[in-house]
Amino acid sequence: MARKADVRDHNFATSNIVFGMGGALLQQCNRNTFKFAIKCSAINMGGEWKPVFKQPKTDSGKNSKQGRLKLVKKDGQYQTVQIDEPGEDLLREVFRDGAVTKPQTFDSIRAKAARP
C-alpha cells in the first residue's frame, strides 16, 4: 500500500502543527470567556515594521491590537501600548526562533504567579 502524503511533503515542520479539542469538553471556558487570544500584531517586511490586525464587521469586541506593542504599568494597572510610548516594557524574552533564552523551573513560575 502506498504511503499517504502528510505535512512533511509540503515542507511544514511537524513541531508547528497543533491539534486541539477545545475547552468546552471540560470547563466551558474558551478565549471568548476571558476576551483573550494571542495574535500576530506586526510583521517585519524588508526591514520595515507593518501593523497586522483583524477588525471583524460582525463583532467589534474581537478587534485586535495592531503594531509593535509592549506591556507597561500605569497607575497600578497593566496596559498594552505601542512600543514608542513612554514607560518600561515589562515583558522579557524567554524564546527566540524556537530556542529558550531564559530557562525557568516550574517552581519559579509558580512563585511568580503567586505574587500579588
What pTM was computed for the model?
0.58
Q: What is the pLDDT of residues 41-60, one digit of tens each?
A: 999 999 999 999 988 888 88
Domain range list for the chain: 38-114
Between residues 116 and 108, which one has the greater pLDDT? 108
Give the count of beta carbons closer than 10 Å to the beta carbon of residue 65.
14
Residues 6+ positions from 67 with CB-CB distance below 8 Å:
41, 42, 49, 51, 82, 83
